[in-house]
């Protein structure tokens, strides 16, 4: 690490991420958020994520690689592709596991119905609570695992930050997304399992809140064990991979899926979503003037 002050800043980032993400996750249990705010805020966060990935992470990785090697090979862009594919692969694996579990658990119900001379639809009617509970629980686990996996890689970006300013800027970028994601996750879980006790709300939110701080800790450990050129290589590689992770999350999770209002909403239109993303990118473009 460069200094004790830098370590302290990263630890503060870790604590701030943990506290505010946790509070965002449990907040829907107590407070009904404005859906237009969440809808547009998620798209704004997508713009922040995309702008950070391309203007900050990718640019930093590219310039560091250029200083380390004279090879014309586009290392940072290759690593960005690797980060994108790695995140995509994690989503594919999680969905495949969840779908297989759904099939395995639905088979006994269908078999029982066939033995009694009933159709599969009749079986679903005969066991509505069982099938709904199973599906909701799996959806909740899938949501948590996917969010936590991405969040760990996002946290690493803070942990390997080279300066205090960069650490605070990465905290702002990631924290903005995490708070919106935590609130949206809390609302989604309330829809999936509306009768779950408060303890489950706390456990789900804590699992999501801890993921990014874990990534920050990993990043700090990586940075602490690397010195000289090794530290520069670590930074360049980490930022390249983080670029791909951020681009995937921005496009496939925030823009494509985003927050879905429970009720029809005037702002749930492509033009407003575009303006939300545009605003996020514009903000990052201005911030990068002082980078």
Sorted by where each begins, the domain ranges of the chain are: 4-290
Q: What is the pLDDT of residues 67-124, one digit of tens each?
A: 999 999 999 999 999 999 998 888 888 777 767 766 766 556 555 555 555 443 433 3
Cβ proximity of 13 and 158 under 8 Å:
yes
Predicted local confidence at residue 74, as pLDDT: 95
pLDDT of 214 strictly over 60: yes
The whole model's pTM is what? Answer: 0.68
Confidence grade of residue 190 (pLDDT, cut at 50, 70, 90)? low
Predicted local confidence at residue 136, as pLDDT: 53
Q: What is the pLDDT of residues 117-175, one digit of tens each?
A: 544 343 333 333 333 333 455 556 666 666 677 678 778 878 888 788 888 888 887 88
Q: DSSP alpha helices (H): ranges in the chain? A: 4-30, 35-51, 58-68, 75-115, 120-126, 128-159, 164-192, 198-225, 229-248, 270-287
Tokens linked to 278: 């545009």
Cβ proximity of 242 and 83 under 8 Å:
yes
């Amino acid at each position: 690490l460069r200094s004790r002050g830098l370590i302290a800043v990263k630890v503060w980032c870790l604590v701030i991420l943990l506290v505010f993400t946790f509070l965002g996750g449990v907040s829907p249990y107590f407070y009904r958020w404005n859906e237009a705010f969440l809808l547009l805020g998620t798209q704004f966060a997508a713009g922040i994520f995309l702008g950070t990935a391309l203007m900050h992470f990718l640019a930093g990785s590219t310039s560091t690689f250029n200083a380390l090697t004279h090879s014309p090979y586009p290392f940072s862009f290759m690593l960005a592709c690797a980060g994108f594919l790695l995140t995509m692969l994690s989503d594919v694996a999680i969905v495949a596991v969840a779908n297989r579990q759904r099939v395995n658990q639905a088979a006994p119900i269908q078999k029982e119905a066939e033995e009694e001379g009933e159709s599969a639809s009749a079986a679903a009617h005969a066991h509505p609570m069982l099938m709904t509970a199973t599906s909701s629980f799996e959806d909740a686990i899938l949501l948590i695992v996917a969010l936590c996996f991405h969040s760990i890689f996002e946290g690493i970006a803070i942990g390997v930050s080279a300066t205090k300013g960069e650490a605070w800027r990465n905290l702002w970028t990631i924290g903005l997304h995490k708070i919106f994601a935590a609130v949206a996750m809390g609302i989604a879980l309330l829809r999936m399992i509306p009768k779950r006790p408060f303890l489950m709300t706390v456990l789900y939110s804590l699992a999501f809140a801890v993921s990014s701080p874990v990534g920050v800790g990993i990043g700090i450990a990586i940075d602490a064990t690397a010195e000289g050129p090794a530290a520069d290589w670590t930074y360049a590689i980490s930022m390249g991979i983080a670029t791909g992770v951020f681009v995937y999350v921005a496009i496939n999770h925030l823009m494509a899926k985003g927050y879905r209002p429970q009720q029809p909403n005037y702002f749930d239109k492509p033009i407003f979503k575009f303006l939300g993303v545009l605003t996020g990118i514009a903000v990052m473009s201005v911030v990068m003037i002082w980078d």
